[in-house]
Structure 1
Amino acid sequence: MIVDSWFTVQQIDCNTYAISEYGHWEKVHSFLLLGNQKAALIDTGLGIDNIKRITDQLTTLSIDVITTHVHTDHIGSHGEFERIFVHEDDKDWLVNGIKGLSIEQIRKDISRDITLPLPSNFNADTYQPFQGEPTDLLVDGDVIKLGDRKLIIYHTPGHSPGHICVLDEKNGYLFTGDLLYDETPIYAFYPSTNPSDLVNSLEKISDIPNISMIYGSHNTLGLEPIILKEVKRAVKFLRENELTKFGTGIHKFNGFSVQF
C-alpha cells in the first residue's frame, strides 16, 4: 500500500487503482488502469502535487492519459506525461485555455478549503492550468486497447463540449468523469455548459449494458449500477417538466443531483 502526503491510493482490483485527492474540497479521483501491454490514466488530478510520483510507483508500463474533460481539476499533471488524449470538442480548451473561467477564479478554487498540508512547491498565486497540444483526438465510439483490456469512449457533452465517459469493457467499469457522481450537484449552470446536452448524455449512459460499477470523478468512490435506473427516471422528469435549461436550479434525485 502506498502512503503519500497528498494522494490516497485505493486498489479497485489487481489492475485498477483510484488516485484520490481528499485534502481538497472537490475530492477528485483519477484512475490508473493497467493492461498487459500499456496503461491508461483517466485524468491527472488538480496539479497541486505531481500524480506521476504515484503512477511511477504503480507501473512501469507506458501510460496513455485519457482526459474526461478539460477542467482544471482533471488536467493538473498532464504536463508530466508524453501521450495525452482528449475529445476533439475540448481540444481548443486544452490548447488555448479553459473557456468561461478566469485565472483569478481558478486560483481561488484551487486553494480553498484545504485539509491536508500543501506541497512546499505549490503556490496558488502562480498556479497555471496545463495548456498544450494533445497526442491525438478522441471521438464517440473510439476504442483504446491496453492489450488484454479494451476501453470504449462515449462522447457525453453537457458539462463541457468534449466531455467523455470511458467503459472498461472487460470489467464493466464505467468511468463517468463529471457526468455522474453523488453528494454534490453535477454542474451545468455556467455559460460553457449545456443542460440539454447533459440530460441527453445521462440518458446515453443509462442505456449502456453490463455495467458492474460506476466511478465518478468526485466524492464517493464507486456507485452501484442500480443508480442508472434513477438516472432514467431523472431524464424523463427533467424533460417532461421542461427543466433542462439554465436557471432552473438544483434538481435532487435518489443518489445524485444536477444544477442548471
Structure 2
Amino acid sequence: MTRPVAEFWYGVEAHDHGIVRLRETAIDPYLAGNMWLVRGSRRDLLIDTGTGIVSARPILENLSGKPLLAVACVGFYDHAGGLHHFAERGCHPAEADRIARPTLESSAVADYVSEGFVAFLPYEGFETAAYRMQGTTPTVQLGDGDVIDLGDRQLEVLHMPGMTPGSIALWEAATGSLFSCDTLYDDPVITRAFEPPDRPAYLESVKRLKTLPVVTVYAGHFATFGRARMMEIIDRRLGSHAA
C-alpha cells in the first residue's frame, strides 16, 4: 500500500515554563521520542532530537533565534537520530561512541524499526528498510552534576545508567521539571514488557529520582505526568524487578 507524504512532520505543543514539545506525529510515540525545547534568556536547550528523518532546525529557528544546545539523553535512534542536524551537540561521555558510530544494534534500529514504522512518508521515495541513524561526534560532554546554563534558568545533569551506560536525565529545580528520557515514561500499554539491560544500575537510578521534589515529568515518550504518578511508576518498576 502506498502511503501519502505527510504535510507536516512535527507536531508542536506549548507547555508551562517556556517548554515546547516537538513530536514526529507520523510515528507511534513508543517508537519515536519526545523532543523538549527549553527556552532561556541567553540560549535554548533541545532535549533529545528524534529520529533525524526530517530536520527540526527550521521549526526551532522560527521559535527562537537564540543559540541552541542539542542534547541526546540516550544514544538510541529515537533520541539521538537528529543530533547531527545541530552544531552544538551534547551527551554523556559514556554515550559518545554509540552516537558517533551507531550500528543497527547499538542504535536500537534493529529492534524497533520495521515495515509500517511510519504512517505517512516524510518525503517521496523514503524507504523504512534503508533508515539508519546517522552518526555524529558530540561537541559537549555532560557528566553527573554538570549544570547547563541558559541565562535565566539552569538544568542539572543526572547520570541515570541502566537503559545504557551513559543515559542521563535533566533536572530544573526552580520549576520542579524533570526531563526523564527513557529512564521513566508512562506507557499506556501496561502489558508491554520493560526490561532494562542493566537492571541493578536502573533500579538505583529510579530510586534516585524518588528523592527529587518533582512537579512535572517531561518524559522521553508519551504524555507528561506529575509527582504522584511518577512515584507509582517507580514503585511498579521496583516491584516488578525485585530480586
Tell me how many residue pairs correspond in the alignment: 233
Q: CA deviation at 1:179?
A: 0.9
Q: CA deviation at 1:172?
A: 1.4
**Mapped pair 1:229 → 2:231:** yes
Q: CA deviation at 1:234?
A: 3.3
Q: Deviations over 1:100-149 (max 9, x none)?
A: 4488726x716534223432363334322121211121111110000001
Distance 2:95 2:53 in 1: 22
Distance 2:238 2:38 in 1: 34
- Quote the residue 1:24 is aligned against: 27
**Mapped pair 1:219 → 2:195:** no
SS in 2 for 1:214: strand
> Contact (CA 8 Å) 1:202, 1:231: kept in 2 or not?
no
- Quote the residue 1:254 is aligned against: none
TM-score where L is the length of structure 1: 0.81
- Quote the residue 2:81 is aligned against: 76
Gaps of 5+ in 2: 1-6
- Check 1:65–1:187 CA distance in 2 against 1; reply closer, same or farther (3 A cut): farther
Decide which of 66, 75, 89 is 1:61's aligned counterpart: 66
Distance 2:83 2:107 in 1: 20
SS in 1 for 2:21: strand
- Check 1:8–1:101 CA distance in 2 against 1; reply closer, same or farther (3 A cut): same
> Contact (CA 8 Å) 2:33, 2:48: kept in 1 or not?
no
TM-score where L is the length of structure 2: 0.86
Counterparts of residues 107-122 of structure 1 (less than 5 Å): 109=113, 112-120=116-124, 122=126
- Check 1:40–1:104 CA distance in 2 against 1; reply closer, same or farther (3 A cut): closer
- Check 1:215–1:92 CA distance in 2 against 1; reply closer, same or farther (3 A cut): same
- Check 1:137–1:71 CA distance in 2 against 1; reply closer, same or farther (3 A cut): same
- Check 1:154–1:124 CA distance in 2 against 1; reply closer, same or farther (3 A cut): same
Over the aligned positions, Cα root-mean-square deviation in angstroms equals 2.5
SS in 2 for 1:227: helix
Counterparts of residues 88-167 of structure 1 (less than 5 Å): 88-98=93-103, 100-101=105-106, 105=110, 109=113, 112-120=116-124, 122-167=126-171
> Contact (CA 8 Å) 1:46, 1:110: kept in 2 or not?
no
Distance 1:55 1:132 in 2: 20
- Check 1:19–1:115 CA distance in 2 against 1; reply closer, same or farther (3 A cut): same
Distance 1:171 1:180 in 2: 19
> Contact (CA 8 Å) 2:117, 2:128: kept in 1 or not?
no
Distance 1:100 1:206 in 2: 31
> Contact (CA 8 Å) 2:113, 2:128: kept in 1 or not?
no
Decide which of 15, 21, 26 is 2:18's aligned counterpart: 15
